[in-house]
């Protein structure tokens, strides 16, 4: 059994849904994040700065999202857990055990960039280098301070 959980900005956990299968919960997680962050009257640039909740994707070097490893929530103050599938079953691990070939990215919604095709938007921040204008950099660490007062949607094996 798996649970889709929202951990809000105050650290309270709320079960959104439960299921025997992960696939449907991933779809619901993305829909929840989309509704919270993107389905509003803000301009696109403001939506990318003023988001409230995220879902963690693990992305390989080819920018493909992995379907067999999922963020499974915080463990204590500074540790995080993941669940991973070998095709037959799911097992829980520490986030630190995830290899460097997969990068965590904070999914905050999607937007239609080409007709009929939605592309994911990942949380980013401005990075300033001396003498140049700021550039947007994707947040790829769950320890980033910008995530502190945000909600996170994750899937936990119960």
The per-residue pLDDT for range 32-62, each reduced to its tens digit, is 999 999 887 676 777 777 899 999 999 988 8
Mean pLDDT of the 122-128 span: 84
Mean pLDDT of the 19-40 span: 93
Work out the percent of the chain whose per-residue pLDDT is above 70.
92
pLDDT at 95 over 90: no
pLDDT tier at 23 (50, 70, 90 boundaries)? very high
Mean pLDDT of the 71-91 span: 86
What pLDDT score does 11 carry? 87
Average pLDDT, the chain: 88
Q: Between the CA of residue 139 and those of 22, 103, 113, 115, 121, what are the distances in Å?
A: 25, 10, 21, 27, 11
Mean pLDDT of the 61-86 span: 86
Q: Are 59 and 11 in contact (CB under 8 A)?
A: no
Mean pLDDT of the 77-81 span: 78
Domain boundaries, the chain: 2-157
Phi-psi region of 122 (alpha: psi -120 to 50; beta: other; left: phi over 0): beta
pLDDT tier at 77 (50, 70, 90 boundaries)? low
pLDDT tier at 96 (50, 70, 90 boundaries)? confident
Indicate the SS3 state at residue 148: coil
Q: Are 110 and 34 in contact (CB under 8 A)?
A: yes
User: What is the reported pTM?
Assistant: 0.89
pLDDT at 31 over 90: yes
């Amino acid at each position: 059994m798996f649970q889709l959980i929202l951990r809000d900005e105050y650290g309270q956990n709320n079960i959104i849904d439960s299921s025997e299968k992960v696939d449907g919960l991933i779809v619901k997680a993305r829909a929840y994040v989309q509704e919270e962050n993107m389905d509003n009257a803000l301009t696109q640039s403001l939506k990318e700065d003023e988001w409230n909740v995220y879902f963690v994707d693990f992305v390989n070097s080819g920018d493909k999202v992995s379907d067999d490893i999922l963020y499974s929530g915080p463990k204590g103050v500074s540790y995080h857990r993941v669940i991973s599938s070998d095709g037959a079953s799911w097992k829980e691990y520490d986030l630190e055990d995830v290899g460097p070939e997969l990068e965590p990215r904070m999914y905050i919604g999607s937007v239609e960039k080409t007709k009929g095709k939605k592309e994911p938007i990942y949380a980013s921040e401005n990075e300033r280098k001396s003498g140049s204008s700021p550039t947007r950099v994707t947040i790829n660490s769950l320890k980033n301070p910008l995530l502190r007062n945000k909600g996170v949607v994750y899937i936990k094996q119960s």
